[in-house]
Amino acid sequence: PTANIGVVGLAVMGSNLARNLASREGNTVAVFNRSYEKTETLVTEHPEAGFVPASTYEEFAAALQKPRTAIIMVKAGGPTDAVIDELMRVFEPGDIIIDGGNSLFTDTIRREKAVREAGFNFVGMGVSGGEEGALLGPSLMPGGPDEAWVTLGPILRSIAAVAEGEPCVTHVGHDGAGHFVKMVHNGIEYADMQLIAEAYDLIRRGTGKTPAEIADVFAEWNRGELESYLIEITAEVLRQNDAATGRPLVDVIVDEAGAKGTGAWTVQTALDLGVPVSGIAEATFARSLSSHREQRDVSGALPGPSDDAFTVPDADAFIEQVRLALYASKIVAYSQGFDEIRAGAAQYGWTIDLGAISRIWRGGCIIRAQFLNRIADAYAAEPELPVLLSAPYFVEALGRAQAAWRDIVQIAAGAGIPAPAFSSSLAYYDGLRAERLPAALIQGQRDFFGAHTYRRTDKPGTFHTLWSGDRTEIEAEDTH
Ligand code: NDP
């Protein structure tokens, strides 16, 4: 055997990851794909990589040094299970099987258990950065056992993106921890993209600037505290003109956003964990709303404010307010995402270093941003922060932004422009700030119709009012 690592699944992600691996000193990469043509094409097109092609799983296993290490990059779900079964058939106990696809973390927990019981090591690994990241340096989020990390760590460090001198990979935690964190990464990505889209919409409709002019605004923002890959590519997209019509491409693209499901997973999981990721949820729902063409009011029958309701007297001042609203909402979205990781770790028994997660997201992945350094600083200063946005740096930033944020949410509501992520983020922020929440009334209602009981502010214990009787209060058993 000549190869120290193998890749199964040679579509765009797998072939790029294989080329990345092959380009690093000391690696010889065995490659396998269900249909052999893909393997042949890759090997022929990239002789420099020195790939060891395999046409069967047996050949693939024979090409690998022990302990065999193979990264699976195939469609999530059934195809991943099928490949794992094949590898277990031809591999031997002690070998390491890595799933680099976008698997649901609960599938990863299930697979890890089954594969471990058969004597193999299994690592579910989140990979972010799309095809370019896979080739040039992704952000890698491996879970799985410590034992596998010993072998895998050096290889993964060599292919990961580098940010501030550090490779963007860490052993996230056991079993499904890596895929969980990748899932939340994607949820945050949804929120960030929606916030940017709302900012663009407000600026366009408020100032009448052209997409190319707004591209300049985003390019300028990219030199400040909002500096990030998503802001950078937003400027690129807005600047693009359509060759066929000569119009801005953004005006030619159908305004229905697709989704592959990781945003929905993030929200579903958050609901189960009881974590309010409202920014991510609004972003996911906003995509759903956009794609329900049949429900959208094409005839204009739904009343709204008159068109001239939205006039911005000072475009530059307005744009600065939008920037601050975007920054504040972004702090909320990331804070909520990290809250979900914290809650997931508690629920599933993972030890996850939140500061390390923010550091491995600084390069390679879609949400890479300057901002992640501030999150890393916050967790370095206080690892047990109950909620990220309460870190002094973010408190200061929110204090600086909050007046503008409120203005922008008001302006959007007044003008009839949907800004669900801006406004829900603000509501979340004010929810955290509120000294008293109307949840007390909800507890009263719950006690009224369902005898669900309540606790009192002035003494310990659990109480129930005899609503259908004489309405005196009795001490009750704690039923929640
Ligand atoms: P696809 O998700 O399009 O999957 C295609 C690959 O899956 C092919 O190699 C195909 O083999 C293989 N495959 C499908 N069914 C089976 C099966 N039953 N048995 C064996 N192999 C099978 O490829 P991508 O490269 O886009 O993505 C790979 C993984 O990486 C996915 O899980 C994806 O979610 C994840 N990912 C993708 C990113 C992206 O930007 N595209 C980013 C991060 C992760 P064949 O050629 O024989 O059909």
Ligand 1 centre from 134 Cα, in Å?
13
Residue of the CA atom closest to atom 15 of ligand 1: 79
Is 189 labeled as catalytic in the residue annotation? Answer: yes
Q: Are 283 and 194 in contact (CB under 8 A)?
A: yes
Give the Å distance between the CA of 33 and the centre of ligand 1. Answer: 10
Provide, rounded to the nearest whole percent, the portion of the chain with pLDDT above 90.
96
pLDDT at 310: 80
pTM: 0.96
Average pLDDT over residues 248-262: 97
State yes or no: pLDDT of 478 exceeds 70. Answer: no
pLDDT category at 16 given cuts 50, 70, 90 is very high
Report how far residue 5's alpha carbon sits from residue 63's, in angstroms, rounded to the nearest whole number: 9
Ligand 1 mean position, distance from CA 121 (Å)? 22
CA distances, 179 to each of 95, 317, 372 (Å)? 20, 42, 20
**Predicted confidence (pLDDT) at residue 297 exceeds the cutoff of 90:** no
Q: Angle at Cα 385 formed by Cα 383 and Cα 387, nearest 5°?
A: 145
Catalytic position from the list 25, 117, 164, 189: 189
C-alpha to C-alpha distance for 101 and 99, rounded to whole angstroms: 6
Residue 479's pLDDT band (cuts 50, 70, 90): low
Q: What is the pLDDT of residues 397-421, one digit of tens each?
A: 999 999 999 999 999 999 999 999 9
Ligand 1 neighbours, Cβ below 6 Å, are 9-14, 33-35, 38, 73-76, 79, 82-83, 101-102, 127, 130-131
In sequence order, the 6+-apart residues with CB closer than 8 A to the CB of 400 are 324
d(CA 70, CA 87): 9
Residue-wise DSSP of 263-308: HHHHHHHHHHHT---HHHHHHHHHHHHHH-TTTS-TT--S----GG
Task: Work out the pLDDT band at 309, boundaries 50, 70, 90.
Answer: low
Is 48 labeled as catalytic in the residue annotation? no
Phi-psi region of 293 (alpha: psi -120 to 50; beta: other; left: phi over 0): alpha
Residue 74 dihedral angles phi and psi, to the nearest 5°: -120, 180
Parallel/antiparallel/unpaired status of strands 96-99 and 29-32: unpaired
**Mean of pLDDT values over 39-60:** 98
